[in-house]
Amino acid sequence: MDIPIFVWTAIAGCIGGAVLGSLTYLERMQKGEAFEKKKFALSMLPPTIVGLASGFLTTDFNLAFTAGLVGKKVWDTATKFV
């Protein structure tokens, strides 16, 4: 079974977003916030979606992974002004 390259890059983008999303949430927990499933999901979902989308647009694993990381930063900046 041969899996297309865009599937692997999409997975790399999801992993990049999930890594930064979970690290950000762990930082919040260290500051004393209680664990909440809704906040955890909201910290993981946007960067994972951005990483997934970038995986379908590129064939470079590093670019897809980095886009997932950037997706989290963009989400955090956007939610500060709302």
Q: pLDDT (tens digit, 9 = 90+) per residue, 69-79?
A: 777 677 677 77
Residue 68 CB coordination number (10 Å) = 29
Residue 6 burial (C-beta neighbours within 10 Å; 0-12, 13-18, 19+): middle
Segments making up each domain of the chain, as ranges: 5-80
pLDDT at 81: 64
Task: Give the tens place of pLDDT for each residue, 28-63.
Answer: 788 888 878 887 777 777 777 777 777 777 777 777
